[in-house]
Amino acid sequence: MGGQLRRHWGVLDKTGIDTSDIAGLGISVHGKGLYLWGKDEKPVRHGVISTDNRAYRYPLRWCQDGTEAKAFDLSCQHVMACQPVALLAWLRDEEPEHYRNIKHVFE
93 within some domain? yes
Give Cβ neighbours of residue 19 (< 8 Å, ≥ 6 apart): 2, 3, 5, 6, 12
d(CA 96, CA 101): 9
99 within some domain? yes
Top pLDDT among 92 and 107 is at 92
Q: Which has the closest alpha carbon to 54: 97, 27, 94, 107?
A: 94
Rounded average pLDDT over 33-60: 94
67 within some domain? yes
Contact 59, 80 (CB under 8 A): yes
Give the pLDDT confidence of 14-46 residue by residue, as tens digits: 788 887 888 877 766 567 889 999 999 999 999
37 within some domain? yes
Domains identified in the chain, total number:
1
5 within some domain? no
9 within some domain? no
12 within some domain? no
For residue 88, give its domain range: 32-106
pLDDT-based confidence at residue 83 (cuts at 50, 70, 90): very high
43 within some domain? yes
